[in-house]
Every structure is written in C-alpha cells, then in structure tokens.
C-alpha cells in the first residue's frame, strides 16, 4: 500500500499553541499522593516531591496543567488544602470513594509547577459551591498583598501571586455522575454569574465553560448551545472531554478513534458559531480539549458497579491513595494517542488549549512505584516527541490514501498526518500514523514548498506485538526506534509499519 502526503506552506491552520501540550493532575488515586508527592521516596525534595517524576514531566514536555480535578473538584473546598499541614482536615472524596488528607493543596501545587516549568489551569468548584468561593480562591491565588486572602497566601509561603490565567468554571457539569450535576440552563446561568464576577476582579482571565463529557452524551450539542447562550460574552473557551478504548476486540475501529474527535470538534465549532451569529457577536469561541486520552472506562465502570453492589451495609472503605484507573498502555494505545494529538494540531485554529488526562499513575504516561522507580508508559513517547518537535505553524496536508471499513467510524483513511513548519528556524516536522493492522504503508511526503533538504531525525513507535506494554517488571519493553526515511528534491519517503506512529524532522 502507498500514500501521498502533500504539505503546502500556504495551508496554515494556526501557530503551534504550546497550550495544546497541557496535562492534568487530579486528586485521584495515586496521581498526587504516592505519585508526584511521596515524602518518604529516596528522590523526594524537602516538599516531598519526587524528583524522578519531575524530570520525566519535563521530558514529556507538558505546558499547562489542569488542577485539582476532575470530578474531585465538585466536592472540594480549596481552603482545606492551605495553611499548616497538621491542621488540614481529612475528608471523604465522594467522586472517587477515597480519603483526602489535603497534604497537598494550591500552595504545594504552585511550588511543584514552578519546578516543572508548567502553567496552572485551575478548576473552581461549581458543583457544590458558587460565585463567592470562586472569587475567594482567585483572590488567594492571584491577589496582591493587602487583602486578607492574599495575605494568607503570603503567610503560607506564596510570596508572589501565582498569576493563574486560565480558570475552568466547574467540571463535567453535564454528567449525572458529577456531584451537584445540573441541567444546561442552570449551569449556564451559574457559569455566567461566576465568570462575570471573576472578570470584574481581573478582566485578563481566560475562562472555560464546561462543554460535554463526551460526544455520546444524550445532551451533546444542545448542552453547548444552551450554556453558550448564557455565557458567550463571559467566557473564552468551551471545554471538550473525550476518552477512547478498544472494545470487543475491534482494533480497527479503535485505531480510527480520532475520527470521533474530529466529529466532536466540528460539532462544537458549528454550535459555538451558531450562537455567535444568533447573538450577533464578533468574538469567536475557542475550544479547550481539557480531558483527552485512552481510558479503559468500561472496565473501570464494571469494577465500580461491583464494589457498589457489594456494599450492602455502607461499610465500604474510604482508602487513601488507592490504585485507581492505573491503565497499562499498549503500543496500539500509544498509536491512537499520537493520532489524537495529530487531530488536535490539525484543528488548532479552534482548539487552542488541551490537557492529556492525566499525568501520573492515573490513566497516565508516567507511572511510579512507592519507594521504587518511575517509568514511561508507551503513550509517553508520541506526546513527548510531538511536544518537542512541533514548532512554528501547523500545516494541514492533503492525504491521498485508501480507506478501510470500521464498525464505529465508517470508512477510515489508512494513514493520518499533520506537519509543522518553523520558517525562522528553517525546520519542519511531520507526524504520521499507519492504522493498518496488517500492512506497511510506503508514504511519500511532498515538502517541496518548504525548501528543506535533509532529515535530522526519524523515529517510529511500533512493535511486532501491538499489545506490548511497559510494566514495573519490564519498564523499557517498548520505546522509540529510528526509522529509515530518505529525502530527495523535497520529497520524503518512509515506510510506516502496521499499527505505528512516526515523526520525521527535516531541515
């Protein structure tokens, strides 16, 4: 099989937004506790942060980090997590049936993000709280000395304001599982009131209204319309969340998951633009794809249902840092993740912020063992390479290739690709996936219009076993390998093995 990818320097989608390489840290399972924070670990610093994790986070190349949830945030009181540690309350976290000790809160997280070089994207609780608490946490985080909440932060060691620009107005308020779940009308009104108040405090904030938790939600589309009719003037982004998994052994459909992400994005763009024209506004709404990943959610839901059914007398334990959502990712999972990143880049005219959910241990590219090592999951690789190589502007290529039938997404092209071009640096990068389960595909990438002549790097993520994984016992089973790629007269030729993700850098 062959494919032709034609990259035209005139087909600019948008600048590469660094915020597309965001991630997400939720108080969930072992993401924070026994993940990025483990005071007894040999690499822990004086704050209890594992330095081996910090160095992997830097290598991963994440930018913005969403915090502190997720579903967790809808029952969270931010003030529980600040001040002297021994006075912080222990509480039940209803979202994940866990014990929250509050050892880590906003001040610790701000110190951790300074060490990782990331930008905080903070989610306020609109499930069980409202406008006042959102204003309070804003003042605590960003206020200048001289008011009681800002002075409290200073007393707690946060001398300089944290300067958090991006704020999520709640989390997945469309989901019946959300503590404090609301209908679109009620949420839209609350989000608008909260946003207006936050922007009086600081007009420079960038605010994100909750969109849908998935394209399969019964309210998908209508939710966005109603919420945006209430909030259009007050917010800068509407959120999208999507998780994908292989089900029923249908690898072909799974490998084409990015087609659902494309459908998701184009539906939300159309809906947001409908509201824009209906309200006769000039402003264009951007999308924050602030949860996306592979997640074996069906298996998680089945386990949860079993535990809940067995708890006939309400005696189920509320454990501290339980092993929750610790999916172990395969090569196929990593190929899909690489493809989802291609899709986000290809739509970066409207998707200007995104967060891989999540970062450590919980559906994560980085895994840790208490007292032991930290290692890279398969999904680490396409993310880190794309974050490192994508620069300049995104160019949407024309792709000529055969399709294959899928049960879930109709006919899917065998190859997907996107390019970035940094004119000043005189370099480009092309990211490609081969979705075929059986056949290699020889791709010619015509970069003629870019006037570049040599390959500086060509990497592939592939294994004879698409289900190969990295585990504690074998943490380096899967990694990147060099791939043969040649360039002549501005045309790159590369043969992509089946079920693979590749990156080719040219200068």
The residues carrying an active-site annotation are 172, 291
Integer Cα distance of 106 and 116 in angstroms: 15
Residue 184 vs 443, nearer CB to ligand AHR: 184
Hey, is 114 helix, strand or coil? helix
Closest CB 23 distance from ligand AHR, rounded Å: 11
Cis previous bond, 358, omega within 30: yes
* 71 near ligand AHR, rule: CB under 6 A: yes
Residue 71 CB, shortest distance to ligand AHR, in Å, is: 4
Kindly write out the interface string for residues 233-272 of this chain, putting x where it contacts ligand AHR by CB under 6 A and - elsewhere.
Answer: ----------------------------------------
Instruction: Give me the helix-helix angle, 51-60 and 106-116, nearest 10°.
Output: 60
Would you call the peptide bond into 68 cis, given omega within 30 degrees of 0 as the criterion?
Answer: yes
Please select the residue that binds ligand AHR; options are 70, 143, 397, 466, rule is CB under 6 A: 70
Q: Is 73 or 458 the residue whose CB approaches ligand AHR more closely? A: 73
Count the Cβ atoms, other than its own, within 10 Å of residue 219: 16
Task: Give every CB contact of residue 21 below 8 A, 6+ residues apart in sequence.
Answer: 61, 62, 63, 64, 354, 356, 383, 386, 387, 390
Does 212 help bind ligand AHR (rule: CB under 6 A)? no
Asked if 26 touches ligand AHR (CB under 6 A), the answer is yes
Tell me which residues in 357-376 interact with ligand AHR (CB under 6 A): 357-358
Q: Which stretch binds ligand AHR (CB under 6 A): 7-15, 65-73, 184-192, 330-338?
A: 65-73
101 binds ligand AHR (CB under 6 A): no
On the 0-12 / 13-18 / 19+ scale of CB atoms within 10 A, 507 is middle
Stretch near ligand AHR under the rule CB under 6 A, chosen from 6-14, 44-52, 69-77, 404-412: 69-77
Q: Which stretch binds ligand AHR (CB under 6 A): 67-75, 138-146, 307-315, 371-379?
A: 67-75
Which residues does 60 contact at the CB level (< 8 Å), separation at least 6? 23, 359, 365, 366, 380, 383, 384, 387
- Least separation in angstroms between residue 174's CB and ligand AHR is 10
Nearer to ligand AHR, 357 or 478 (CB): 357
Least CB distance to ligand AHR at residue 66 (A): 9
Specify the residue, 162 or 295, whose C-beta has the smaller distance to ligand AHR: 295
Cβ-closest residue to ligand AHR?
Answer: 70
Q: How far apart are CA 422 and CA 442, in angstroms?
A: 26
How far apart are alpha carbons 145 and 312 in whole angstroms? 52
Query: Nearer to ligand AHR by C-beta: 246 or 290?
Result: 290
Binding piece for ligand AHR, criterion CB under 6 A, among 68-76, 140-148, 367-375, 392-400? 68-76
Residue 89: exposure state from Cβ atoms within 10 A (0-12, 13-18, ≥19): exposed
Q: Nearer to ligand AHR by C-beta: 353 or 406? A: 353
Q: Which stretch binds ligand AHR (CB under 6 A): 66-74, 105-113, 377-385, 435-443?
A: 66-74
| 3-class SS letters over 391-433 | CCEEECCEEECCEEEECCCEEEECEEEEEEEECCCCEEEEEEE
Give, in order, the Cα–Cα distances in Å from 204 to each of 123, 162, 382.
Answer: 17, 14, 33
125 binds ligand AHR (CB under 6 A): no
Take residue 32 and report the two structure tokens written for it.
């924070």
Nearer to ligand AHR, 158 or 214 (CB): 214
Q: How many residues bind ligand AHR (CB under 6 A)?
A: 10
Closest approach of ligand AHR to the CB of residue 399, in Å: 31
* Binding residue for ligand AHR, selected from 63, 64, 142, 171, defined by CB under 6 A: 171
Q: Is 501 helix (H, G, I), strand (E, B) or coil?
A: strand
Closest C-alpha among 59, 71, 80 to residue 137: 80
Extended beta strands in 11-156, E state: 12-15, 22-24, 64-67, 91-93, 98-100, 119-124
Q: How far is the CB of 53 from ligand AHR (least distance, A)?
A: 18
Question: E strands of 213-270, at which residues?
Answer: 237-244
Task: Give the other-Cβ count within 10 Å of 279's Cβ.
Answer: 12
Measuring CA to CA, how many Å separate 351 from each of 31, 138, 200? 26, 25, 26
CB of 29 to ligand AHR, least distance (A): 9
In the complex, minimum distance from the CB of residue 243 to ligand AHR, in angstroms, rounded to a whole number = 7
| 172 contributes a contact to ligand AHR by CB under 6 A | yes
Query: Of 22 and 70, which has the nearer Cβ to ligand AHR?
Result: 70
Residue 224 and residue 267: Cα distance in Å, rounded?
Answer: 10
Separation between Cα atoms, residue 427 and residue 309, nearest integer Å: 57
Q: Is 3 or 123 the residue whose CB approaches ligand AHR more closely?
A: 123
User: If we measure between CA atoms, which residue out of 394, 420, 410 comes closest to residue 503?
Assistant: 420
Question: Do 211 and 227 touch, CB atoms closer than 8 A?
Answer: yes
Q: Is residue 379 involved in binding ligand AHR (CB under 6 A)? A: no
Interface region with ligand AHR, contact rule CB under 6 A, candidates 63-71, 103-111, 148-156, 442-450: 63-71
Q: Which is nearer to ligand AHR, 168 or 259 (by Cβ)?
A: 168
Residue from 93, 291, 333, 416 that binds ligand AHR (CB under 6 A)? 291
Smallest distance from ligand AHR to CB 297, Å:
8
Applying CB under 6 A, which residues contact ligand AHR?
A: 26, 69-71, 171-172, 213, 291, 357-358
């Amino acid at each position: 099989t062959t494919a032709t990818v034609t990259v035209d320097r005139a087909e600019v989608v948008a600048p590469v937004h660094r915020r597309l390489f965001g991630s997400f840290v939720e108080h969930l399972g072992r993401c924070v506790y026994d993940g990025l924070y483990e005071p007894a670990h040999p690499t822990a610093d004086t704050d209890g942060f594992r330095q081996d994790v910090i160095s992997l986070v830097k290598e991963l190349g994440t930018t913005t980090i969403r915090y502190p949830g997720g579903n967790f945030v809808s029952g969270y009181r931010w003030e529980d997590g600040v001040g002297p540690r021994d006075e912080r309350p222990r509480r039940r976290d209803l979202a994940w049936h866990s014990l929250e000790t509050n050892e880590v809160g906003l001040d610790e997280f701000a110190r951790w993000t300074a060490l990782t070089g990331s930008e905080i994207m903070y989610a306020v609780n609109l499930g069980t709280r409202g406008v006042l608490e959102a204003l309070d946490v804003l003042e605590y985080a960003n206020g200048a000395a001289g008011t009681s909440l800002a002075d409290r932060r200073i007393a707690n060691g946060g001398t300089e304001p944290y300067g958090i620009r991006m704020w999520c107005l709640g989390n997945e308020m469309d989901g019946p599982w959300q503590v404090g779940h609301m209908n679109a009308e009620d949420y839209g009104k609350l989000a608008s009131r909260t946003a207006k108040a936050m922007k009086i405090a600081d007009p420079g904030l960038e605010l994100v209204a909750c969109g849908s938790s998935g394209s399969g939600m019964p309210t998908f589309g209508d939710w966005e319309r109603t919420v945006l009719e209430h909030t259009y003037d007050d917010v800068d982004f509407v959120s999208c969340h999507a998780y994908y998994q292989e089900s029923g052994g249908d690898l072909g459909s799974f490998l084409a998951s990015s087609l659902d992400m494309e459908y998701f994005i184009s539906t939300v763009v159309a809906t947001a633009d409908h509201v824009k024209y209906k309200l006769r506004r000039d402003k264009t709404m951007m999308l924050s794809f602030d949860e996306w990943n592979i997640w074996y959610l069906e298996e998680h839901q089945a386990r949860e249902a079993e535990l809940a059914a067995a708890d006939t007398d309400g005696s189920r334990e509320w454990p501290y840092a339980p092993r929750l959502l610790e999916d172990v990712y395969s090569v196929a999972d990593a190929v899909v993740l690489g493809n989802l990143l291609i899709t986000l880049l290809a739509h970066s005219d409207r998707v200007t912020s995104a967060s891989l959910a999540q970062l450590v241990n919980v559906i994560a590219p980085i895994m840790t063992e208490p007292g032991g090592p930290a290692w890279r999951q398969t999904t680490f690789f396409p993310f880190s390479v794309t974050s490192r190589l994508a620069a300049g502007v995104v160019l949407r290529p024309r792709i000529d290739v055969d399709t294959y039938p899928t049960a879930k997404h109709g006919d899917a092209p065998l190859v997907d690709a996107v390019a970035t071009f940094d004119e000043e640096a005189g370099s480009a990068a092309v990211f490609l996936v081969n979705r075929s389960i059986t056949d290699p595909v020889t791709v010619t990438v015509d970069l003629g219009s870019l006037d570049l002549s040599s390959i500086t790097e060509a990497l592939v993520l592939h294994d004879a076993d698409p289900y190969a994984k990295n585990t504690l016992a074998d943490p380096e089973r899967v990694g990147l390998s060099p791939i043969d790629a040649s360039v002549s007269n501005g045309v790159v030729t590369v043969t992509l093995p089946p079920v693979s993700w590749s990156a080719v850098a040219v200068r």
